[in-house]
Amino acid sequence: MKRFLKRTIGIVLIIFLIVSVVPYALPISNPAEYSVKNPFNESNYEIVNNTTIHYRQWLPQSSELKGKIMMIHGMGGSSYSWLLTVQPLLEQGYMVVAVDLPGFGYSDRQQGLDHSQSSRSNMMWQVIDNIDKRLQGDSRLLKWYLMGHSMGGGTVAAMISDHPEKIKAAILVAGALSENNPSQYQAVLKYPPVRRWIEVVLYMVALQPKRIESFLTSAYGRRPTESEVEGYLMPLKQPGTSSIMIDLLLTSRNEPLERIVGSDVPITGIWGSEDTWVPVSEAENIQKLIPDFEYRVIEGSSHCPMETHPNEFNRILAGILDEN
């Protein structure tokens, strides 16, 4: 019996050491290989609440500004997600801003950030206000169009709740607006070794080309090209991505959809008929709460219609903008 107890205690101690010590000997980033500053010619930065926000800004080709539009990506995305949407908007006379939410793209990855949609809304409005201050004449008085994809749709919903008076119209692209409860993970994720193990697994397994290819295959409904994999992989490989994912799990929270019920802001949706991530049924649920909400469905498209079906997406988007 004593021998059994000693052996059991020894095994428990070994397991404890493996769980508590080993993850700190494994890497979670490679700053020398992937750290990038000013990645694009149109890159801009704003410091908001001690958090650095990266965004890309394009000015229209015409001298007259038709409107201003901010585009907000979904989970795992960045400004890259909107590249096939930019040029058509510029040709129509819109100023385009594609923002990287904190923790994504080339924005700040400091630990301890609040990733709730309420916090994101506050940051995005400060970015918008700073951009408006630099515009000339009547351009600064124009209201903004907001477009959010998937998780970014929840950000747009929070922005509608906070400042409807500043918005011309809002477009949800497969918008993920359902309420969630991050508190269920808190007890486990706050234990440092568990947190470190998750960071290690994310870096060594999830943030690798084959995993990104699998992720995009599901989101696109087809296999991605090498350039598409690279377009998502490079921002995700920025130092600190695996670490902020823990804070994301702990603090990410959508605002109740009821907060935008009755808003005067015109809200439209664009969905893919084959979307399995945020299916068309989610658009139907939004419509039940907001009867004026209208949505268009792109047949054959999955979760990222702006990337996989850009011609149809841009045609629908142009129509929505013209209507508002």
pLDDT of residue 204: 67
How many CB atoms neighbour CB 53 within 10 A? Answer: 24
- The CA-based angle 114-234-33, given to 5 degrees, is 105
Beta bridge partners of 146: 70, 170
CA distances from 311 to 78, 153, 249, 253, 305 (A): 20, 21, 35, 33, 9
pLDDT score of 32 more than 50 = no
Cα-only R_g, the chain: 22
User: 294-298 and 267-272: which strand pairing?
Assistant: parallel
Instruction: Match 């995005």 to its residue by tokens.
Output: 124
User: 51-58 and 94-99: which strand pairing?
Assistant: antiparallel
pLDDT score of 26 more than 60 = no
Helices 209-220/226-236 angle, 10° precision: 120
CA dihedral 127, 162, 321, 323 (to 10 degrees): -160
CA distances from 108 to 34, 37, 53, 116 (A): 15, 12, 6, 15
- Going by pLDDT thresholds of 50, 70 and 90, the confidence category of residue 139 is confident
Name the amino acid, one letter, at 187.
A
pLDDT of residue 78: 97
Most confident of the following: 119-128, 129-138, 187-196, 232-241: 119-128
- Going by pLDDT thresholds of 50, 70 and 90, the confidence category of residue 242 is confident
Annotation: CATH topology of 41-179+253-323: Rossmann fold (3.40.50)
Most confident of the following: 51-65, 171-185, 278-292: 278-292
Task: Take residue 141 and report the two structure tokens written for it.
Answer: 């008085």
Mean pLDDT of 277-290: 95
pLDDT score of 307 more than 70 = yes
pLDDT of residue 64: 84
How many CB atoms neighbour CB 303 within 10 A? Answer: 25
Task: Take residue 94 and report the two structure tokens written for it.
Answer: 């819109």
Range from 106-110, 140-144, 186-190 carrying the lowest mean pLDDT: 186-190
pLDDT of residue 45: 96
Helices 192-201/2-21 angle, 10° precision: 60
**Percentage of residues of the chain with pLDDT beyond 90:** 66
Yes or no: say if 97 and 57 are a contact pair by the CB < 8 Å rule: yes
Choice between 22 and 115, residue whose per-residue pLDDT is larger: 115
Q: pLDDT digit string (tens) for 40-80? A: 999 999 999 999 999 999 999 777 899 999 999 999 999 99
pLDDT of residue 249: 82
**CB-based burial of residue 3 (10 Å sphere; 0-12 exposed, 13-18 middle, 19+ buried)?**
exposed
Cα–Cα distance for residue pair 159/182, rounded to 1 Å:
21
DSSP helix/strand/coil, 270? strand
> Could you tell me the residue ranges of all domains in the chain?
41-179+253-323
pLDDT of residue 183: 56
Mean pLDDT of 209-214: 92
Task: Take residue 148 and report the two structure tokens written for it.
Answer: 């959010």
Average model confidence (pLDDT) for the chain? 87
Name the amino acid, one letter, at 68.
K
DSSP letters spanning 163-180: -GGGEEEEEEES------
Choice between 321 and 25, residue whose per-residue pLDDT is larger: 321
pLDDT score of 236 more than 60 = yes
Cα–Cα distance for residue pair 225/217, rounded to 1 Å:
10
pTM: 0.88
- Going by pLDDT thresholds of 50, 70 and 90, the confidence category of residue 239 is confident
Range from 3-12, 106-115, 178-187, 244-253 carrying the lowest mean pLDDT: 3-12
